[in-house]
Structure 1
Amino acid sequence: MKEGKKNAQRIIPDTSSVIDGIISTGVEREDYRDYDICIPEGVVAELEAQANRGLEIGFRGLEELQKLQDMAKEGAIRLYFCGKRPNLDQVKLARGGEIDALIRETAREAKGKFITGDRIQSMIARAKGIDVDFVKPEYKERGPLIVDKFFTPDTMSVHLKNKVPPMAKKGSIKEVRYVQIRDEPCTFYELKEISRELMDRARSDQNSFFELSFTGASVLQIGKMRIAIANPPFSDDVEITIVRPVASVSLDQYRMSEMLKERIRAQRGILIAGPPGAGKSTFAAGIATFLNDKGFVVKTMESPRDLQVPPEITQYGPLDGSMENTADVLLLVRPDYTIYDEVRKTRDFEIFADMRLAGVGMIGVVHANRAVDAIQRLIGRVELGVIPQVVDTVIFIDKGEVANVQTLQFTVKVPAGMMEEDLARPVILISDFETGRNEFEIYTYGEQVVVMPLGNEEARKPAWALAEGEVQSVLQEYASGPVSVEMVSDSRALVKVREKDMPRIIGKGGSTIDDIEKMLGIHIDVRKFESEKEEKKKGAKDTRPHRPIIERSSRHVILNVPELATQDVEVYAGETFLFSATVGRHGDIKVRTDSDVAGNVMEAVETGEAVWVKVA
């Protein structure tokens, strides 16, 4: 180590005091003017390692060293570097305190005042008898930021990128415009200056913090602004995105019935769904405020923590990088409600379900294009029969408005479109909250989970058409001429045949028709054709489509249509013709699993495309 000025006071800063600018600030205030400042090599190595990992604090510390070097050239201080440079193993163990220990040892050998902004470092140094000063970074009165000039009252977000003119999203949630806000493109040095200022503010302002810090990316929260800073190699160039809420909305500003508000208060499992930018988080913050005002204990789970909620509501981030750890703490805190912002990954849904089943009222924010899509995101992540216990209400937000509310109910019934009572199974009914009308059914069919839309009578006709085809196929065995079948309800059919075929279909004392009705599970009203013209018209109709039961064995894909046994048929997926075949006498169509035909059938099943069969 070089010798400084005789009798000059000497200070040895640690990494934290360099990053926080404590030394240069002291020199500017003349507290450290004409001092010998000895920078441990351990500090330089730690800053270099952080900068190499793309962490902004590393660059900030190196810039501070450059600033101190400039002050030394001006004669304000004398700057030296001292101590041993840490080896590779010590750098790798930096989190365990190896470099901090090396810096303390350098401070002891240099025989000066050890300056640190790290409380733990100061406590250990004092315990080891080192002359140490614990100096907190100054909280200066904060003026406007450079990025503030890009914002207007209706600006939702600002997007800055090197060599690209600044852009912004403006307007309201109902009408957003993406516009250019300056002709000159951003420069590298301008973005670095903005980045440095934002980092300093996040580090020194009590209302700001670092949310995430990765190689090439940092996320900050400064007041109400959420800032994402991206650098190469993570991004192709330097980019800064600043997002802020344009409004804090209470539930009174939404068109909501008292019945829905009462449902929200009832400690339920609720999903707030909608596309990106629709106003989901704003609505969630409104619900949090509403519940807090009603006397409930409300907490949030967020990453990043950017919901605009009252100070009474504590906002939690990932504990030690895991929301699972956060959930464990929250269960000890015992909130009435937890707002889980951004439920995306499988683990998020599992944590949401665990907390809900533990009795906590849960409100999750989910990206979805329809309310039912939010429910479908639970399938495969949460056991099907448990879904209504985890989520019983979905509120769909579109352009800042409550567009749709759906409720979930668990029951056992015959799914819509199926006729036989022995096909009854557990079904999740999804209904419109306001009208009570059933809109979807979710149930298992073989190994598949089916999400079946239920429309009006017009939408139900395809299911009835399947029943008409089945009735027609059965009665055709008793009639020599054409058979016309019309389903007038899901349990009653009107059948017309030639007059000479009626006795054979009805049977002695109605015995035959009784057997047919029991077999089909519907009431059949048999009548004759009124005229030859009607008979010809009805007889010319194609046979109705049939929905086969599809099974898969080790060698075959099997389509079971017993009502079409021994007949030549055509098989379709939606509107696409797949193949022709002859149905076996047991009602089976078998195709080898290694054939293209079998592949087409299974692909249609997996994508939800309807597979159907008609007589050729």
Structure 2
Amino acid sequence: MSDLQKSESEFSISEQQTPDLEFLKFFDPTTMSIHLKENQKPLGKKGMPGSFELVELDTKTLHRDYLEIITNQILSAIDDETLGNTEISKPGALVIQYRDYRIAITRPPFSELLEITIVHPIKQMSLEDYQLSEKLMSRLETQAEGILISGAPGSGKSTLASGIANFFNRSGKIVKTFESPRDLQVDSGVTQYTRLDGSFENSADILLLVRPDYTIFDEVRRREDFRIFSDLRLTGVGMVGVVHANTPIDAIQRFIGKIELGIIPNVLDTVIYVKDGGISKVYRLELKVKVPSGMVEQDLARPVIEISDFETNTLEYEIYTFGEENIIIPVDENGSQKTGIEHLAEEKILDRLYRFDSHPKVEFLGPGRIKVFVSGDSIPALIGKAGKTIQELEKSLGLHIDVEEHGAQRELPSQSLPYDFSESGTALIFEVDRQFTGNVASFVVNDEFLFSVRIGKRGKIKVLKRSSEGKRFSRFVNNDDNLEIFLKRD
């Protein structure tokens, strides 16, 4: 009998309740994960969240036969459903939860070689271990029902989520989880759900029937997940979501565009940012109708989501609709915008002004006030009858606007350039004679100036579709017959 056959025989007669699994030899109390790949030496991450290093676990190279033995051991072990389950099964990919080990096995055609990655929590933490302030503990006990836990991968988000789940469970609450895979370390009283028939939407239908007090959603990633999280919260279920984000504000921003802006504070009331295994920032969200910071006119009041530091009550960000877009504005301690409305809004203001004038200019006079320079012929259309047009524009932009005539008009360039036009997935491409490389070309449609750009190498002009120039082109040019490109003369 070969060594391999002998090993497989030994594995098959292992005691079912205490299987002797080969991969366990790679783990010690400081090992967070192991990475076993065919034709590579075994690697492991050792340390704590936010402070770990990748080390070689053995000097021997791993061969496919050995990794297949480990795989077969794991599959045999989860025949007993009390020890583990298959969470995800796709061609070339298998995710298994065995006790508190999360195991991902990939092979061709999904990966080029056989690889086994096994993650193991090295410490289970309770909320007391985080040394939360009395203010935050009180909020978790009495108020917080839309909690978002955010952080970078490996920062300790799921560990905190497990601690919160156990805290609610021990406080006499009915707690369920949504997980795929189910790897949260929670008390036995917490029921762990996964995707029902491949969908959390189906799971949500069952969840509403069992009426939990809190649901831990680990992790909110797909667009469908954000919608389900929001729907469950709006039905009255207390929700704790886990999301990947590099900053705490990024976590909130991930909800923008997926649900209506105005209901975000009804879905999220507390955002906790985890870094290096500890809580580094907590935000509180509140919806108010007010004049945004940096604006001064009272008639510019609108719904504004205030994002404040929970411990100090310091306002740090505001989210509101500016023009037709939702924007996030940082606010300093004095209530003024750090980067200024100018930095975020100039392009949006110009886009609105282009329909009145071909080359407007904007000057920022102070918080909430701008001066617009247009041609004398454009002023009547911009002001409108009895000032109606300018008033509507001020209300839409949230700014007070002064209008002034240009001191000097831009002359139309004199030399028209023949060009070839093509289009890629992301850009508009114009090619003129390469002798004009390095010069500035002006785009004009029906004698109206659009924009100027520099001619690139070999006479090529590339205009990104998502740029302000690309947007203007799409808005004003119906076909290439009415577009002219001129060589701009200094």
TM-score (norm 2): 0.70
TM superposition shift of 1:460 = 4.2
Distance in 2 of aligned mates of 1:550 and 1:424: 9
Code of the residue aligned with 1:601 in structure 2: it is: S
**Letter paired with 2:468:** V
The AA in structure 2 aligned to 1:414 is: V
The letter of the residue matching 2:221 is R
User: 2: distance between equivalents of 1:370 and 1:273?
Assistant: 8
Q: Tell me, what secondary structure is at the counterpart of 2:19? A: coil
Q: Pick the aligned partner of 2:243 from 354, 363, 366.
A: 366
Give 2:79's match in structure 1, choosing from 182, 199, 203. Answer: 203
Which residue, 101, 105, 115 being the options, matches 1:225? 101
* 1:258 positional shift: 1.8
In the alignment, structure 1 residue 235 sits paired with structure 2 residue 81 = no
**Which amino acid in 2 is paired with 1:225?**
Y
Which amino acid counterpart does residue 447 of structure 1 have in structure 2? E
- The equivalent residue for 1:150 is 26
**Structure 1 match to 2:428:** none
2:49 to 167, 173, 180: 173
CA distance in 1, matches of 2:394, 2:409: 15
Q: Distance in 1 between matches of 2:405 and 2:148?
A: 48
The AA in structure 2 aligned to 1:348 is D
Deviation, 1:464, is 9.3
Q: CA RMSD in A?
A: 3.6
Secondary structure of 1:240's match?
Answer: strand
Task: Report 1 or 2 for greater relative contact order, CA contacts < 8 Å, sequence distance ≥ 6.
Answer: 2
Residue of structure 1 aligned with 2:406, choices 566, 589, 594: 566
Query: How far 1:142 moved relative to its partner?
Result: 2.1
Residue 68 of structure 2 corresponds to which residue in structure 1?
A: 192
State the one-letter code of the partner of 1:566.
Answer: H
2:227 to 350, 370, 373: 350
**Residue number among 269, 272, 275 corresponding to 1:392 in the alignment:** 269
2:14 and 2:20 in contact (8 A); partners too: no
- 2: CA distance between counterparts of 1:602 and 1:454? 30
Q: SS at 1:450's partner residue?
A: strand
Q: How far off is 1:423 after superposition?
A: 1.8
If the length of structure 1 is used for normalisation, what is the TM-score?
0.56
Residue 601 of structure 1: aligned partner? 468
Residues 360-397 of structure 1 deviation map (CA, whole Å, 9 limit, x = unaligned): 00000000011111110001111000000001110000
CA shift for structure 1 position 279: 0.2
Aligned pairs, how many? 376
Structure 1 alignment gaps of length 5 or more:
1-62, 69-136, 467-484, 493-518, 520-547, 553-558, 571-578, 582-589, 606-616
Aligned ranges 1:24-63 → 2 under 5 Å: none
- 1:263 aligned onto 2:139: yes
Q: Which whole-Å CA distance do the structure 2 matches of 1:385 and 1:399 have between them?
A: 33
2:488 maps to: none
- Summarize deviations over 1:195-234 as a string: whole Å, max 9, x none: 1111111123522111111111111111110100001010
User: Equivalent residue of 1:142, what SS?
Assistant: coil
2:459 equivalent in structure 1: none
Q: Tell me, yes or no, if structure 1 residue 283 matches structure 2 residue 160.
A: yes
Kept after mapping to 2: 8 A contact 1:299/1:314: yes
Tell me how far apart the structure 2 counterparts of residues 318 and 364 of structure 1 sit (CA, whole Å). Answer: 16
Provide the residue aligned with 1:428 in structure 2.
Answer: 305
Letter in 2 for 1:358: T
**Aligned residue in 2 for 1:87:** none
The CA deviation string for residues 181-208 of structure 1, in whole angstroms up to 9 with x for no partner, is: 1111110110011111111111235221
CA pair 373-486 structure 1, distance change in 2 beyond 3 A: closer
Q: Does the aligned pair in 2 maintain the 1:591–1:597 contact within 8 Å?
A: no
- Pick the aligned partner of 2:254 from 352, 355, 377: 377
Offset at 1:333?
0.4
**Which residue in the other structure is 2:460 paired with?**
none
Q: Aligned partners of 2:466, 2:187: CA distance in 1, in Å?
A: 56
Q: 1:324 aligns with which of 176, 201, 208?
A: 201
Distance 1:409 1:399, change over 3 A: same
Q: Which residue does 2:90 correspond to in 1? A: 214
Identity among equivalent positions (%) equals: 45
Aligned mates of 2:227, 2:128 — CA distance in 1: 32
Are the equivalent residues in 1 in contact too, given 2:465–2:471 (CA < 8 A)? no
- Contact map agreement 1:592 1:598 (CA 8 A) in 2: no
Corresponding residue for residue 283 of structure 2: 406
Cα distance, 1:141 vs structure 2:
4.0
Say which SS state the counterpart of residue 140 (structure 1) adopts: coil
Deviation at 1:447, TM superposition (A): 1.6
Contact 2:273 2:282 in 1 (8 A): yes
Q: What is the SS of the residue equivalent to 2:60? A: coil
Give the match's secondary structure for 2:78: helix
Alignment match, 2:325: 448
Distance in 2 (CA, whole Å) between partners of 1:150 and 1:231 is: 21
Q: Residue type matched to 2:406 in 1?
A: T
Contact 2:33 2:118 in 1 (8 A): yes
Contact 1:418 1:463 in 2 (8 A): no
Structure 1 runs (4+) greater than 4 angstroms displaced: 457-466, 548-552, 593-600, 602-605
How far residue 419 of structure 1 moved from its aligned partner, in angstroms, is 2.4
2:206 & 2:318 partners in 1: Cα distance? 37
* Residues in 2 aligned to 1:291 and 1:427: alpha-carbon distance in whole angstroms: 31
Deviation for aligned residue 1:601: 3.0
Tell me which residue corresponds to 2:129. Answer: 253
Which amino acid letter does the alignment assign opposite residue 201 of structure 1?
A
Is contact 2:92-2:107 (8 Å) kept? Answer: yes
Q: 1:194 to 1:549 in 2, by over 3 A?
A: farther
Deviation at 1:560, TM superposition (A): 11
Q: Note if contact 1:267-1:360 (Cα within 8 Å) is conserved in structure 2.
A: no
Give yes or no for the alignment of 1:339 onto 2:179. Answer: no
More deviation, 138-147/153-162? 138-147
- Higher helix residue share: 1
> Which residue does the alignment assign to 1:473?
none
Partner of 1:164: 40
Change (3 A) 1:200 1:461: closer
**Residue 565 of structure 1: CA displacement?**
3.0
